Amino acid sequence: MSGTPIYQPHDHLARSFFAHPDIFRSLVEFYLPAKVADNIDLESFQPEEINIINDNLKEIRGDICYSGKFINNTPIFIYLECQSTVDNIMILRFLQYIISKSLNYMRNKNQGKRLPILPIPIAITLYHGKARWKAIPQVSTLCSEFPPALAIDLLDFHNFLIDLSCIPVKVGQGHPFLQALLILLRASSDAEPMDNESLTQVGKIMASAKTDSRIKSFTAQTGIYILEVIKVAGGPGALEELFFIPILGQEEGKKMSATTIDDIKAQCRKEARAIEKLENTKNHILVFLKFRFGEPPIHVQEKILHCQDLDFVGIMMEEALNAKTLDEFRRHLNLE
C-alpha cells in the first residue's frame, strides 16, 4: 500500500497495548521463566515513564516501564523494549534507563537519614526480527577481563530475551490482546503478506474479547498495522471479511473498514506530528537555557522533558528566551 507509513509502527502498537497493566501482566506471567514470574506480585504493577537526556540534550524515551514488587514485598522495576533488529549493546541501553530511573527514585524517596531500598531491575527484550537473536550479553562480558584477584560482578542484572522468531506464540494462553499483538509483531518480519488463515486466527482471538471496552480502539490500531506494515494477501476486502466483521459485527465492521481506516491513519499522522513538535520544542528550550545560562540542573531538565502540555511548553519557550537569569526562569514556572 502506498502512502506515508504510520509513525514508528512497531513502537506505536506495542506501547498502545502494553500501556495497559493487564496486558503487560500477561506477558510477564506467560513468557518469563516460571521461577521469575511465580515470585512477582502480578497485581502490583504500576506504569512508569522512562525519559533520559543524552549528551546532545536530546530526550531518549524507553518503550515501557512498570514498578511492582516481588511476593516478599521487595520493590522492582521491569523495563520492556520491543526490537525488530538485533542490538548487541542492548544491555547498555537498559543500563541507561535503570540508572536514570534509580536516580529519580532515590531523589524522590530519600527524605530521611536512611537511604531507601533501591528497586531490583528486570529487563525484557521482546524481539520480532527475522534473524534469530541467541542472547543478550551482560555488561561484564563487554568489558576487558579483570585480574583474578579483582574479579567482581560489574553492573549485571536480570535480562530476558523473548525471541518471537523461535518461540511460538502461546495461543490460548494469556490475554487475547497479548496473543494478537505477538502474532502481528511476529508476522511483521515475514517477507510475504499475511495469509487468510493467519488473519482469520487473529480475528478470532480478538473477537474472544469483544466485550472488552477497548475492543474498538485495539481493532482499529491492529487494522492499521496490518494494512500499513504487514500487508494482507487478500487486500482491504479480506481485512473487512476476516478481521473487522468477526470482531465488531456486520454493521460496525463494514463501517470501520469503509470509512474509518483513512481517518485513523490521518489521526495517527496528526498525533505523530504533534508529538514531534512537542519533543522538538522541549529540546530547543534546553538548548537555549544551556546557551544563555549554562547547564540547567538535572531535575529542571527532567521536569521540562516530562511535560506533555503543549501550551505550557510554549510558555516555557518564551521564558527561556526572555528570562534574565536561570533562577528567574525557574521561579516564573515553579520549577524549583
Residue-range domain boundaries for the chain: 1-143+151-189, 192-248, 274-332
Q: What pLDDT, in 10s, does the model give residues 304-333? A: 888 877 788 888 888 888 889 999 998 888
| Mean predicted confidence (pLDDT) in 207-212 | 94
Provide the pLDDT for residue 3. Answer: 38
Nearest C-alpha neighbor of 66 from the set 107, 114, 117, 101: 101
Tell me what the pLDDT averaged over the chain comes to. 83
Q: Alpha helices, DSSP H only, in the chain?
A: 9-18, 21-31, 34-37, 90-109, 176-187, 196-207, 215-225, 235-239, 245-248, 250-255, 261-293, 298-306, 310-322, 326-332
Residue 297's SS3 state is coil
Dump the DSSP string for 141-195.
Answer: GGSPPPPGGG----S--EEEEEETTTS---TTSS-HHHHHHHHHHHHTT-SSPBP
Whether 79 has a pLDDT exceeding 90, the answer reads yes
What gap in Å lies between CA 307 and CA 316, rounded to an integer?
A: 10
Provide the pLDDT for residue 202. Answer: 94
Provide the pLDDT for residue 231. Answer: 81
Provide the pLDDT for residue 5. Answer: 39
Higher-pLDDT residue of 178, 137: 178
Nearest C-alpha neighbor of 319 from the set 295, 297, 288: 288
Helix (H) or strand (E) run with residue 127 in it = strand 120-127
Higher-pLDDT residue of 92, 117: 92
Label residue 259 by pLDDT band (50, 70, 90): low
| Mean predicted confidence (pLDDT) in 195-210 | 93
Sheet holding 64-69, edge to edge: 46-48, 64-69, 75-83, 120-127, 158-163
Provide the pLDDT for residue 62. Answer: 56
Label residue 174 by pLDDT band (50, 70, 90): very high
Whether 20 has a pLDDT exceeding 90, the answer reads yes
CB 228 within 8 A of CB 1: yes
Q: How many CB atoms lie within 10 A of CB 300?
A: 18
Whether 293 has a pLDDT exceeding 90, the answer reads no
Whether 211 has a pLDDT exceeding 90, the answer reads yes
Looking at residue 200, its amino acid is T
CB 118 within 8 A of CB 110: no
Question: Could you tell me the CA-to-CA distances from 202 to 59, 214, 222, 311 in Å, in that order?
Answer: 35, 16, 10, 40
Q: How many CB atoms lie within 10 A of CB 95?
A: 18
